[in-house]
Amino acid sequence: MARQYCRRHSYDWLVVEPEIFAQRATYSALRVEELRRRLSSRPETSALPGLTVFCAGSYARMEASEYSDIDLFFVYGDPDGASSRSNIDEIRLFSAVIETANNMGFPAFSNDGQYLCTRECSSILEHMGSPADDSLNLFTLRMLLLLESKCLVGDGIFDDVQRRVVSAYYRDYPDHQATFEPWFLINDIGRFWKTLLLNYEHKRNQPPEHEIQKNKQKVRNFKLKYSRMTTCFATIAALASLENSPSEEQILQIVQRTPRERLDAVRVSLPQVAEKVRAVLDQYSWFLEQTAQTEEQLRSGFEDKKHRSERFERANNYGDAMFDLISAIGESRDSADSNRLLRYLVI
């Protein structure tokens, strides 16, 4: 079926893009707003002061389909709220969250609810770069907070937590105002992408119980090559496209956009790479079309070797398109800076 396109205004100029982006954004916004409304009306959420709840994944990226699951995270912004918390109240909250998600028809939470737990903003900041950053899953939480998140409960707390995390990446700014670049943040985004790849390889090395499990891993790898790659590198592209070193406020503006909106911002900042952006978005729209299925349907589609090879070939082509975009952004700068972005991504 021929891909359909729609026109919309992006910032100050007209953009023609596949209709599936607008369709998914509308669907995601309606579902997120309904989930916000239901969770906010539950007494269990108000029983834990200082807590914010946000979603990540396809709903935060505003590209969910009716088959998408919902990933939720729980963070205390205020140390006083965390210290006065009640385990019983948290259990009640998680029970209310599970009930609400079930009533809305979301798929079951991943890993049998393994990630239904609370974290504290102070811990996220304290352990940045330490072994606990990984062992407590704080690094993943921090990256998702910045790269793909939508607040569901506690808007003010969420904004404060996000701002404090961004500020942590600017801790060297006062002493290096003339030369500061957000390499700490860019390196962490690159590290997050490589961690996702390593996590996939680790799971792949585990002996599968049966063929279904093997196909499940293949689907995970296929999605990784599109959605999470875009989450990471659309952000890097947006940072690199700015004429000057970004301020904290500019970083906040970037993280508050979806990955697709960040790519839109790139073609506004650098019109000379607009065709590269369009090539990325056109290929990404194909991915969205292909994944509008149940997990079972997706897995069965990877059973056929020819079909599987074709999908992974397209995924590799998508990676090439993203690399071409990043390279073009670097080359758009003067000769002294043209290779600086790639240099910091690699070394």
Q: Is residue 3 part of a domain?
A: yes
200 shares its domain with 346: yes
pLDDT digits (tens, 9 = 90+) for 288-317: 999 999 888 988 888 888 989 999 999 999
One-letter-per-residue 3-state SS of the chain: CCCCEEEEEECCEEEEEEHHHHHHHHHHHHHHHHHHHHHHCCHHHHCCCCEEEEEECCCCCCCCCCCCCCEEEEEECCHHHHHCCCHHHHHHHHHHHHHHHHHCCCCCCHHHHCCCCEEEHHHHHHCCCCHHHHHCCHHHHHHHHHHCCEEEECHHHHHHHHHHHHHHCCCCHHHCCCCCCCHHHHHHHHHHHHHHHHHHHHHHHCCCCCHHHHHHHHHHHHHHHHHHHHHHHHHHHHHHCCCCCCCHHHHHHHHCCCHHHHHHHHHHHCHHHHHHHHHHHHHHHHHHHHCCCCHHHHHHHCCCHHHHHHHHHHHHHHHHHHHHHHHHHHHCCCCCCCCHHHHHHHC
138 shares its domain with 245: no
Domain boundary among 104, 138, 168: 168
pLDDT, residue 13, reads 42
pLDDT, residue 286, reads 96
Q: Which domain holds residue 139?
A: 1-168
153 shares its domain with 200: no
Q: Is residue 173 part of a domain?
A: no
pLDDT digits (tens, 9 = 90+) for 231-254: 999 999 999 998 888 899 999 999
Q: Is residue 160 part of a domain?
A: yes
5 shares its domain with 152: yes
Residue 155 CB-half CA count within 13 A: 5
Q: Is residue 228 part of a domain?
A: yes
Task: State the first-to-last Cα distance of the chain, in angstroms, to the nearest integer.
Answer: 43
Using a cut of 0.85, tell me whether the model's pTM lies above it. Answer: yes
Per-residue pLDDT of the chain (347 residues; tens, 9 = 90+): 445 555 454 444 445 578 999 999 999 999 999 999 999 999 999 999 999 999 999 999 999 999 999 999 999 997 665 566 789 999 999 999 999 999 999 999 987 888 899 999 999 999 998 999 998 999 999 999 999 999 999 999 999 999 999 999 999 888 777 778 888 999 999 999 999 988 756 555 656 556 667 788 889 999 999 999 999 999 999 999 988 888 999 999 999 999 999 999 999 999 999 999 999 999 999 999 999 998 889 888 888 889 899 999 999 999 999 999 999 998 887 655 656 666 777 66
163 shares its domain with 219: no
- Chain Cα centroid distance, residue 55: 10
214 shares its domain with 347: yes
97 shares its domain with 140: yes
Q: What span, in angstroms and rounded, lies between the C-alpha atoms of 59 and 148?
A: 9
Domain boundary among 168, 189, 213: 168
86 shares its domain with 119: yes
pLDDT, residue 112, reads 80
Residue of 72, 71, 66, 73 lying closest to 30 (CA atoms)? 66
Handedness of CA 82, 86, 87, 90 (dihedral sign): negative
Residues 121/161, Cβ–Cβ less than 8 Å: yes
Domain boundary among 119, 139, 168: 168
Handedness of CA 212, 214, 220, 223 (dihedral sign): negative
238 shares its domain with 330: yes
Q: Which two tokens stand for residue 320?
A: 């090439």
pLDDT digits (tens, 9 = 90+) for 27-49: 999 999 999 999 999 999 999 99
- Where residue 81 sits, what CATH number does that domain have? 3.30.460
160 shares its domain with 254: no
pLDDT, residue 312, reads 95
Q: Is residue 174 part of a domain?
A: no
Q: Is residue 301 part of a domain?
A: yes
- Work out how many domains the chain is built from and give that number: 2
Residue of 108, 74, 67 lying closest to 91 (CA atoms)? 74
Side chain identity, residue 201: E
Q: Is residue 28 part of a domain?
A: yes
Q: Is residue 212 part of a domain?
A: yes
65 shares its domain with 199: no
134 shares its domain with 271: no
